[in-house]
Structure 1
Amino acid sequence: MNQLIGVDLGGSALKLGRFSLAGELLAGLEVPTPQPSLPGAVTTAIVEAVQQLDPEHLADRVGVGHPGPSDGAGRVARIAINLPGWREVPLADWLEPLLARRVTLANDANCALLGEHWLGAARDRRDVLLLTLGTGVGGAVLIDGRLFTGRHGAAAEPGLIGIDPEGPPCNSGNSGSIESYCSRRGLARLSGLDPAELCRRADGGDAEALEVWRAYGRLLGIGVSSLLYVFTPELVLIGGGISAASAHFLPALWGEVEQRVQPVSREGLAIRPCSLGNGAGRLGAARLALERLASSLG
């Protein structure tokens, strides 16, 4: 068999793709994530979606990106702070017998960065920071062409880094984290409009909407500035659903970076949206399956 399946598990949607070994999208599917997003319900939803996407069993390897760290072996979803009940969930072990396919797991932002590095905006780049802006704020780091995951696979969670000790609480237990301010919930503190409507109004020149996005960009820029001092990447990629409005908040983000970061720590830096949009995660999950798994079950 010469096809792969990538699954991007998000708080509101499951995005799936069936890919060739070269990364060509052969079929795609998006279904709502069960609410509440308990591990058993999500497992069932993934199985049903994979069977719908690939009823002829053309793909025998599945990569799953999930919102949180996995263990080093890519078998266990260790925690997902924005999904209920997700602690030490052996998701790969659950899925394999139900799908009759090999399964591997990784943090969803790591998958998005793998996808962008394979066929997107990070091709031919060696040092990259990616932030995914959505239900939470995920992140991934590429250092010298390799994902940085730390000793136990839980490193590179930049969304949980604090930027304001007096800020609003984060589901991680921190307060004033990047996620507290720059997730969908954080954006809602700036505006009662959902991100799509806020973007539509800004596209039309609405002054209030434009100011909300400027305020959002300044907050994100504060967080990015701290990360630049740690990783000094050549490229920062912005992904996730909120990135659709990047044209409205990137100028303010850049303004904070230029004010806060010494030129030597941002030399040659580019900051831009992911080129694969919301498809990066499922593509990267498929790449993960290609790299990690043999092409047969058992």
Structure 2
Amino acid sequence: MKQQSVIGIDLGGTAIKLGQFLRDGTCLKFLTIATPQPSTPQTVLRTIVEAINQLEFHKTCHCHALGVGTPGPVDAQGRIAKAAINLSGWQDVPLANWLETETGLPTTIANDANCAGLGETWLGAGKNFKNLILLTLGTGVGGAIILDGRLFTGHLGAAGELGLITLDFDGPSCKSGNQGSLEQYASVQAIRRMTRKEPIELGQLAAKGNREALKFWEDYGYLLGAGLSSLIYILTPEAVIIGGGVSASAPYFFPATLLEIERRVLLSHREGLQLISAKLGNKAGMIGAAKLAWKKVDKLTS
């Protein structure tokens, strides 16, 4: 008898990652392919279907569902990609319906940062916590909220955009329409704007003891701590998990981040709080998408 499996898919602007997973999280097969350019919905659909067919050559397991993480907001039912950052012409794309029609497999979709949060909760840094927030510090700043072990997305399916909270009333404009959002101070693009250097370069300089780089990361940590303080007061998580490319320099900004949280947040709201780095790297979204697919299987069989 064949084992059950699902396929998790992380759709990005430059690459699409797919993995076939058992219920315990074992990855049977993994594939990365380039996102087609231009990345129109129909072209991306064809590319994903072809890649799924490649994964399905693993004949020891039967695939029961698909989970997909997309770079943008998704409707509350996990059916429609309302928009997709860095993809061409994505507006209210019924991606789940399309994939079900093409593959015959039950499909559900979610925001990629939410998938990363699910992945870290399932197999990564968050597996020992039931209440946590994940912040991904990358090209932008994404977020995910896990409450009582479940992903929280709100009645519209769009909750958890943690990078878009206001940090500075008169700060730089954000694509969201906000001004001075956390993203405008914590993302890769913000670091480039503020320093004219890449985060990896600043991390390398800090490792060599460069004072300017060390001072930058200290200031960065204070800003991040200020943003996190607002979130901690609202959600009182057990842990804050920091992922994304910028997290490689966590040793240089975590101390300042913690100091700022301690300064701003009452002990009653942060007692036992842990600030930790994500563990799954750029596979977190794919792993979380697989967990999403398993939830779909359980819902259909319950």
Write the letter of the residue equivalent to 1:92: A
The percentage of counterpart residues that share the same residue type is 52
Would the aligned equivalents of 2:140 and 2:188 in 1 still touch at CA under 8 Å?
yes
Write the letter of the residue equivalent to 1:230: I
Deviation of the 1:94 alpha carbon: 2.2
Measured in 1, the distance between the counterparts of 2:171 and 2:250 equals 24
Would the aligned equivalents of 1:104 and 1:293 in 2 still touch at CA under 8 Å?
no
TM-score (norm 2): 0.88
Tell me the equivalent position of 1:276. 280
Go from structure 1 to structure 2 and tell me whether the alpha carbon gap of 1:195 and 1:34 turns closer, same or farther (over 3 Å shift): farther
Alignment of 1:53-202 (within 5 A): 53-56=55-58, 58-81=62-85, 83-202=87-206
Deviation of the 1:146 alpha carbon: 2.0
Would the aligned equivalents of 2:144 and 2:151 in 1 still touch at CA under 8 Å?
yes
Measured in 1, the distance between the counterparts of 2:56 and 2:201 equals 34
Which secondary structure does the structure 1 equivalent of 2:134 belong to?
strand
Would the aligned equivalents of 1:69 and 1:78 in 2 still touch at CA under 8 Å?
yes
The alignment of Structure 1 onto Structure 2 pairs a total of residues equal to 296
Tell me the equivalent position of 1:43. 45
Measured in 1, the distance between the counterparts of 2:76 and 2:160 equals 14
Would the aligned equivalents of 1:6 and 1:18 in 2 still touch at CA under 8 Å?
yes
Measured in 1, the distance between the counterparts of 2:224 and 2:41 equals 31
Go from structure 1 to structure 2 and tell me whether the alpha carbon gap of 1:226 and 1:192 turns closer, same or farther (over 3 Å shift): same
Would the aligned equivalents of 1:62 and 1:102 in 2 still touch at CA under 8 Å?
yes
Tell me the equivalent position of 2:28. 26
Go from structure 1 to structure 2 and tell me whether the alpha carbon gap of 1:267 and 1:56 turns closer, same or farther (over 3 Å shift): closer
Measured in 2, the distance between the counterparts of 1:71 and 1:220 equals 29
Structure 2: tracts of 5 or more residues without a match: none
My pick for the range that moved more, 265-274 or 178-187, is 178-187
Say yes or no: does 1:237 pair with 2:241.
yes
RMSD: 2.4
Would the aligned equivalents of 1:190 and 1:212 in 2 still touch at CA under 8 Å?
no
Tell me the equivalent position of 2:229. 225
Tell me the equivalent position of 1:248. 252
Go from structure 1 to structure 2 and tell me whether the alpha carbon gap of 1:83 and 1:178 turns closer, same or farther (over 3 Å shift): farther
Which secondary structure does the structure 1 equivalent of 2:154 belong to?
coil
Would the aligned equivalents of 2:107 and 2:296 in 1 still touch at CA under 8 Å?
no
Measured in 2, the distance between the counterparts of 1:230 and 1:279 equals 29
Deviation of the 1:191 alpha carbon: 2.6
